Structure 1
């Protein structure tokens, strides 16, 4: 009798433990894909007609599309800082693309290629709290593949000191101005590639025919960095399939220069026909087929996203993997990109002063989708969100604590179809391209331009519900609102630690 009772207890204990194991929540894998200079209107699900993005479009069918999502800044490094730290540009340590020119000839591409002391951007201090550190503490294996830009190779600001177990890619944004570089970095090691040194802005040779493909051979060599990075990203997923992982895939595509393996653009060459070659002005390489190449670069990114999704599916991880796809800022206006042809910023205003580098909608409103089959329903959200919301969102997702000083709000409730707390307003500042500040409060958008260049403190005001192009400045009609925006801009701006980012007209 006693033996039977003990046997029954053991059987019940077995099934109880098995049931508990089955009910134990599994932390989702997180893949955050950050395109580089991908415009709001450059993907199919946003209305793009000339560039094919079938994989991104298909992914958008499996989750939530955000129509009011913003980058944290209008250029690379500060946008990435806001993303990783959850701090907006009024509080961020990094507020611009600072090359730390006090080190020497940092803008000499050849010298920086040879000397790591000249490579890289201003570094985040190693003690900075980051989203990746939070995920490490939560039990995640963390990796970044792509472009870093937040700390030079020989400084404390390398990815491995800021929450990443693994890094492969460009440390330096300037070196990323060649997609066939001489080297990349793997963790702390410089990895040499099978490419000759070709300095950005290298022109066609004397006597080269701009309509002869052979004239462009030196710009298309052996090791194409986006392909190498993609292989490492796929390996990272494979190697960490049995534990929770966070992959920050910071692709250099479609940031110029216009470079891609010839076979990847043949379809667009056939479709677009003959083009006026781009001669390589403004520090970028010449290209025989600029439109076909640019379209192919975006389609290349799309194909890689499709391969990542297929990999997740093949490993049986799709229902336990959240994939986020967005862009670091608006599209470029240099390097041979015909932003008018592609309507890159649609439905916002295109071109210099309105896209990358500026705080108007075309410079900071970016495409974003979040896919998690079985957890996030197919939907479109008009919730107003921003890069500094990602940190608290992922913290809530994995059950981690959030630092009190973060500027963001989790939008996980929005993703889960629950009641969502909203921002009173969003804030940006940017000390470059003249010096700028901006605030969005509901449908109102306030912008200051030329704060540094002209000591200007006048505020422009736009009603985005009626004026999405931000062309009708109605500040004179709303003095009470202008006063409110002045108060917000004064409150949210803290004097930067780094003097390079200071704006004297704001009291710095």
Structure 2
């Protein structure tokens, strides 16, 4: 009888403990894969017909596709700043690619390879609160593999000092203009590779036959950076499988130069047939088979994504791992990439002025899939608008920590979980490069300012994306009330940049 009374007394305690354990938030592993210059139309699930992307297509089929997801900027560094700090270009510290040229001859590839002080882009402030730091505080092991671009090796603005326990890859965007580089970085150590220095923009040898594949041998060496980085990414997952981890996999693919393993190129050569060589320009290497090589780079990226998926499954982590795959901005217009042949920005406008470097749809709208078995409905799609600076509050809510009050983003976690969620009132971009630009997406409306550094009138173009996704018809004159709203938003969301190099005089005078 006493034993029965004791058991009955203990049952509520046991039940209470079990209930508390059940209510503890599950902290999923997070793998955020950021492609480099992958266009909206360059993946199969968005209609690409020439390039094979079966693994990204599988993620789309088993997860959620975001049809209205945007980068934080149309080029590398400010996009990555927006992602990691949760701020749009009107408030971010980095608002353009800034090579920090007052240090010396930073564009001399050979000098930079020898002198780490010349390497890297403009650094973030020492006290910058990043997504990595927030997830570390939540108990996550954090790692970045790939391209950093937010501060040189000799600064405090390196991954291991800004929220990441592990780093392997390119510190510097300029060094990434050769996928067979002389060195990479592991944490704070420079790792020499078995590649002699071949300076970007090195042309074919004098008298070389441009139709002979052997003429291009010097551009393909031994240590291929994307392969080395990929091995480190898989190792990071395996080594941290027993605790929550965040892997920011910032692949350098398919950013030019056109370089890929020959076996991968040969598969597309058979499909595409004869093609003219690309002889190099604007700092990029020549290539004998530009179409086949570019397609091979994207398919290699896709293959590596598939291997990440396989590793997660092999370790039994599939149901507790969320995988996000997107791109840092739209496709390039240079380096031998044939955006018309691949319809890289489909259904948006292709080419210089409309893709990378510009705030038109082709420059900032990017493909994105999110996969989390059992939590995200397979085969689902959302057209809710979102941007890079929404990722920080989303992941903070996911893991149970507070996002910074000054974040510009809003969490889209309810959308991921299939719950009804209101649209953001608007999205905002500011970009100091290419003569200065701003943009607002407000429902179906898209307002764009170009040439801010030259146009004292700060003229706004207006497009109705519901009827004009190609942004061909400026209807500003027909909707003065919308233009007024756009002007108010652009003024409200702009703060004076801390760095002189990102200031645009006419905005500061406004």
Pick the TM interval, shorter chain: over 0.9
**TM-score normalised according to structure 1 size:** 0.97
SS of the counterpart of 1:260? coil
- The answer on whether the counterparts of 2:177 and 2:256 sit within 8 Å (CA) in structure 1 is yes
SS at match of 2:325: strand
Residue 428 (structure 1) aligns with: 429
Q: CA deviation at 1:81?
A: 0.3
Q: Is the 8 A contact 1:448 1:456 kept in 2?
A: no
Question: Aligned residue for 1:310?
Answer: 310
| 1:398 aligns to 2:399 (yes or no) | yes
| CA distance in 1: counterparts of 2:418 and 2:303, whole angstroms | 30
Give the distance between the partners of 1:32 and 1:401, measured in 2 at CA: 20
Aligned residue for 1:412?
413
For the 8 Å contact 1:64–1:369, the answer to whether it is kept is: yes
**Corresponding residue SS for 2:302:** helix
Q: How does 1:369-380 map to 2 (within 5 A)?
A: 369-378=369-378, 379-380=380-381
Superposed, which structure 2 residues align to 1:306-455 within 5 Å?
Answer: 306-378=306-378, 379-455=380-456
Q: Is the 8 A contact 1:106 1:119 kept in 2?
A: yes
Match of 1:235 in 2: 235
Secondary structure, counterpart of 2:191 in structure 1 = strand
Distance, in Å, in 2 between the alignment partners of 1:182 and 1:344 is: 31
Please state how far the C-alpha of 1:187 moved relative to its aligned partner: 0.5
Give distance in 2, aligned partners of 1:14 and 1:275.
72
For structure 2, list consecutive stretches of 5 or more residues without a partner in the other structure. none
In structure 2, the partner of 1:178 is 178
- Alignment check: 8 A CA contact 1:143 1:165 kept: yes
1:330·1:355 contact (CA, 8 Å) conserved in 2? yes
Indicate conservation of the 8 Å contact 2:25/2:399, yes or no: no
User: Residue 421 of structure 1: CA displacement?
Assistant: 3.1
SS in 2 for 1:302: helix
- Conserved 8 A contact 1:31-1:246: yes
Equivalence for 2:466:
465
DSSP 3-state at the match of 1:61: helix
> How far 1:18 moved relative to its partner?
6.5
Write out per-residue CA displacement over residues 332-384 of structure 1, whole angstroms, 9 at most, x where no aligned residue.
00000000000000000000000000000000000001000100002110001
* Maintained 8 Å contact 1:449/1:456: no
CA RMSD of aligned residues (A): 1.6
Q: Distance in 1 between matches of 2:486 and 2:9?
A: 68
User: Does the Cα contact within 8 Å between 2:25 and 2:400 map onto a contact in 1?
Assistant: no
Per the TM alignment, residue 11 of structure 1 is displaced from its structure 2 partner at its CA by: 9.0
Question: How far does residue 397 in structure 1 lie from its aligned partner after superposition?
Answer: 0.4
2:381 and 2:12 mapped to 1: Cα distance? 46
Deviations 1:139-179 (A, max 9, x none): 00000000000011000100111110000000000000000
- Partner SS, residue 246 of structure 2: strand
Contact 1:436 1:451 in 2 (8 A): yes
Please, which runs of 5 or more residues in structure 1 have no aligned partner? none
Instruction: Tell me how far 1:21 sits from its aligned partner.
Output: 4.9
Equivalent residue for 1:477? 478
Matches of 1:417 and 1:408, distance apart in 2: 19
Q: Which residue of 2 aligns with 1:77?
A: 77
Kept after mapping to 2: 8 A contact 1:36/1:328: yes
Q: Tell me how many residue pairs correspond in the alignment.
A: 508
Partner of 1:269: 269
Using the size of structure 2 for normalisation, the TM-score is 0.97
- Measure the CA separation in 2 of the matches of 1:55 and 1:408: 29
Deviation sequence 1:236-270 (CA, Å, 0-9, x none): 00000000000000000000000011112111011
Aligned residue number for residue 217 of structure 2? 217
CA distance, structure 1, for counterparts of residue 15 and residue 231 of structure 2: 42
Asked if 2 retains the 8 angstrom alpha-carbon contact of 1:30 and 1:246, the reply is yes
